[in-house]
Amino acid sequence: MDLHSLFGLGGRRALVTGGSSGIGLAIAGALATAGAEVVVAARGRDRIDETVAGIRSAGGRAAGLVADLSTRAGCHELADAAGPIDVLVNSAGINIRPPLSDLDEDVWDATMSVNLDAPFILGQRLAPGMIERGYGRIISISSQQASRAFASSGAYGASKAALEGLARSQAEAWTASGVTSNVLVPGFVLTPLNRRLASDPGVVASLAARTFAGRNGLPDDFAAAAIFLAGPGSAYVTGQSIAVDGGFSVH
Ligand SMILES: NC(=O)c1ccc[n+]([C@@H]2O[C@H](COP(=O)([O-])OP(=O)(O)OC[C@H]3O[C@@H](n4cnc5c(N)ncnc54)[C@H](OP(=O)(O)O)[C@@H]3O)[C@@H](O)[C@H]2O)c1
């Protein structure tokens, strides 16, 4: 057994939604380092181009696709454009955070569309090819708020709880055909998603104090876990929600 047979992604193609920022950006770079050709999808062309250029300049293979996952049509367009995909990473996500009493149906629908409907549609569209080729890995990014409420979990927590359920359903359906589905569960990670919360030093310190590591998460904390879940060595790990949170969830 060698490292490549456990973690190598040579010859694999990975689609990383939200791969132009934060956790998705780090995962895109990590999968390219392990040998995958990475397709980065998001709305903003500039950040996609920067990401693709960064991966290429580090010696990796990457391409970018502009995609808006807030509509079902946008999800289907991405699936049409992506070509054969072996590893699907659902990192695109939004968190609008109004207090629940102020949360209207538009916020609910917008949250569910990006955080839950897009992973569902992309799974339905891309898994058949994975099954046909006998290899597939679906990795979704959930949240502590899937299982505990804090910081106005609102629609966001509900969408992430459902995303974890979706991953278990995908695992049930497709693992015997070589396609696993797992979830990485961050704690509080300093990314643009959390710009508003992160601007309050008191909040940042109190969230760091809820970890055992004594610090909040960084996007690169997800790199090794993503390579593991994308690679051949994790074939028997499926339907799991794996915390990458410095101990936040067990404190
Ligand atoms: N940061 C945390 O503390 C934390 C904690 C728990 C869970 N998470 C989850 O981790 C994932 C990544 O979060 P992050 O912190 O890395 O966020 P981020 O830095 O804000 O990145 C979000 C990414 O999603 C893309 N995106 C947003 N809306 C989109 C849409 N409608 N269509 C296509 N792409 C879209 C963004 O690009 P464009 O804006 O250009 O489209 C960006 O690439 C999310 O699912 C989030 O819920 C994060």
- For every one of its 251 residues, what pLDDT tens digit does the chain have, with 9 covering 90 and above? 899 999 999 999 999 999 999 999 999 999 999 999 999 999 999 999 999 999 999 999 999 999 999 999 999 999 999 999 999 999 999 999 899 999 999 999 999 999 999 999 999 999 999 999 999 999 999 999 999 998 888 999 999 999 999 999 999 999 999 999 999 999 999 998 888 888 899 999 999 999 999 999 999 999 999 999 999 999 999 999 999 999 999 99
Task: Please indicate whether residue 156 is annotated as part of the active site.
Answer: yes
Say if ligand 1 is within 6 A of residue 183 CB: no
SS3 labels along 209-231:
HCCCCCCCECHHHHHHHHHHHHC
Selected catalytic residue, list 156, 188, 222, 228:
156
The whole model's pTM is what?
0.98
**3-242 carries CATH number 3.40.470.10:** no
Say if ligand 1 is within 6 A of residue 52 CB: no
* Domain locations along the chain: 3-242
One DSSP character per residue, 23-87 reads HHHHHHHHHHHTT-EEEEEES-HHHHHHHHHHHHHTT-EEEEEE--TTSHHHHHHHHHHH-S-SE
The two tokens of residue 250 are 């067990």
| Contact (CB, 8 A) for 137 and 234 | yes
Say if ligand 1 is within 6 A of residue 89 CB: no
- How remote is the CA of residue 193 from the centroid of ligand 1, in Å? 6
Which residue spans within 49-109 are E strands per DSSP? 61-66, 87-90
So what's the pLDDT on residue 196? Answer: 84
So what's the pLDDT on residue 129? Answer: 98
Say if ligand 1 is within 6 A of residue 207 CB: no
- Calculate Rg over the CA atoms of the chain: 17
- How remote is the CA of residue 5 from the centroid of ligand 1, in Å? 31
> Residue 11: exposed, middle, or buried by beta-carbon count in 10 A (0-12, 13-18, 19+)?
exposed
